[in-house]
């Protein structure tokens, strides 16, 4: 009976460890995912932000709509550069001003500035993870604290999977959408009620008296 109770108590910490591993794995991708100069592209394939590599080296323009990457439709091509290395060139078919153009996109190893920028959401995810673990460790034993812990872990996963949905395995998009639903429909409203917010703030103040 005692062993069973200890196992039950350890489950949240196992979950927290799994979330931390996921965040670390996501961070490792940023150091190897090849850079094409595209900073942001919409779900429809429209390029909304470029850096100098994209504009000057790969001749992309804001508003270009990506149709094919290496002969694969945009929606099915993520992650784009599996099997490629820095210096490779891949073929894009884009629409620009009503015309379809064939572009040769040269890939480079990720610049340090790009890596640091992309790490920001993972650092925020790590902050949520740490607050949730802190509440779990020093909490009063009640339902609100457990929900707050789950909210923090789900938010950390949500942020990490949002980053990975554009550069990682295709199933990341499904995970991201599920977590968005979980947080917005279930955990967020449950926790963010008046009493939930107050209890969460009090938990943080117990852990960090300076807050």
List pLDDT tens digits, range 44-96. 899 999 999 999 999 999 999 999 999 999 988 888 888 899 999 999 999 99
- pLDDT number for residue 25: 94
Domain that holds residue 85: 38-106
At residue 2 the predicted structure's pLDDT band, cuts being 50, 70 and 90, is: very low
Is the pLDDT assigned to residue 198 strictly greater than 80? no
| 197 shares a domain with 137 | yes
| 198 shares a domain with 123 | yes
Within a domain: 1: no
| 117 shares a domain with 172 | yes
Question: How many domains are there within the chain?
Answer: 2
| 126 shares a domain with 91 | no
- pLDDT number for residue 43: 82
Q: Where are the beta strands (DSSP E) in the chain?
A: 38-41, 47-50, 65-69, 72-73, 89-96, 99-106
Question: Residue 129: which H helix or E strand, with range?
Answer: helix 112-138
- pLDDT number for residue 199: 45
Phi, psi torsion values for 157, nearest 5 degrees: -65, -40
What is the average pLDDT score of the chain? 83
- Decide which of 76, 106, 136 is a domain's last residue: 106
pTM of the predicted model, to two decimals? Answer: 0.76
Is the pLDDT assigned to residue 6 strictly greater than 90? no
Within a domain: 179: yes
Question: Residue 21: which H helix or E strand, with range?
Answer: helix 2-30
| 158 shares a domain with 80 | no
Within a domain: 97: yes
CA dihedral sign, ordered 7, 9, 10, 11: positive
List pLDDT tens digits, range 7-45. 556 788 899 999 999 999 999 999 989 999 998 888 889
List pLDDT tens digits, range 181-197. 877 776 655 555 544 44
* Exposed / middle / buried, residue 71 (Cβ in 10 Å: 0-12, 13-18, 19+): exposed
Residue length, the chain?
211
Structure tokens, 172: 């990341």
| 24 shares a domain with 117 | yes
- pLDDT number for residue 7: 53
| 87 shares a domain with 119 | no
Is the pLDDT assigned to residue 126 strictly greater than 50? yes
Within a domain: 2: no
| 99 shares a domain with 126 | no
| 132 shares a domain with 181 | yes
């Amino acid at each position: 009976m005692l062993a069973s109770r200890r196992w039950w108590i350890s489950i949240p910490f196992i979950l927290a460890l799994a979330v931390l591993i996921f965040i670390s794995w996501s961070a490792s991708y940023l150091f190897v995912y090849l850079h094409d100069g595209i900073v942001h592209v919409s779900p429809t394939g429209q390029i909304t932000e470029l850096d100098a590599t994209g504009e000057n080296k790969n001749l992309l323009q804001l508003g270009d709509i990506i149709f094919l990457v290496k002969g694969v439709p945009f929606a099915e091509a993520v992650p784009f550069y599996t099997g490629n290395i820095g210096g490779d060139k891949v073929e894009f078919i884009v629409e620009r001003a009503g015309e379809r153009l064939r572009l040769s996109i040269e890939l480079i190893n990720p610049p340090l500035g790009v890596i640091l920028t992309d790490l920001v959401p993972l650092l925020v995810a790590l902050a949520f993870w740490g607050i949730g673990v802190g509440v779990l460790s020093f909490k009063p034993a009640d339902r609100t604290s457990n929900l707050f812990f789950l909210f923090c872990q789900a938010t950390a996963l949500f942020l990490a999977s949002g980053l990975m949905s554009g550069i990682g395995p295709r199933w990341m998009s499904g995970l991201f959408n599920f977590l968005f639903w979980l947080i917005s429909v279930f955990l967020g409203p449950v926790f963010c009620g008046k009493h939930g917010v107050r209890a969460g703030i009090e938990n943080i103040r117990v852990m960090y008296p300076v807050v």
